């Protein structure tokens, strides 16, 4: 099973990284984009 860590304490972006591969970097995603993604994931 894959999982990600999410940090949402920045008002402008959400930081996401792979739990198993933390050394591969972190993605900064615009908060609006992240919200749309989460809403879509909840529907599927």
- Asked whether the beta carbons of 15 and 21 are under 8 A apart, the reply is no
For the segment 31-40, the average pLDDT, to the nearest whole number, is 96
For the segment 21-36, the average pLDDT, to the nearest whole number, is 94
Range of the domain at 9: 4-43
Phi, psi at residue 39, to the nearest 5°? -60, -40
Tell me the chain's radius of gyration from C-alpha atoms. Answer: 11
Which uninterrupted H or E stretch holds 43?
helix 31-43
Question: How many residues are there in the chain?
Answer: 44
For the segment 7-33, the average pLDDT, to the nearest whole number, is 94
Q: How many domains does the chain have?
A: 1
Instruction: Output the pTM of the full model.
Output: 0.78
Residue 21 exposure: Cα atoms within 13 Å on the Cβ side: 6
pLDDT-derived band at 26, boundaries 50, 70, 90 = very high
């Amino acid at each position: 099973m894959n999982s990600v860590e999410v940090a949402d304490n920045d008002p402008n972006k959400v930081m996401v990284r792979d739990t198993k591969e933390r050394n591969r970097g972190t993605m900064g995603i615009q908060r609006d984009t992240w919200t749309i993604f989460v809403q879509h994931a909840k529907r599927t």
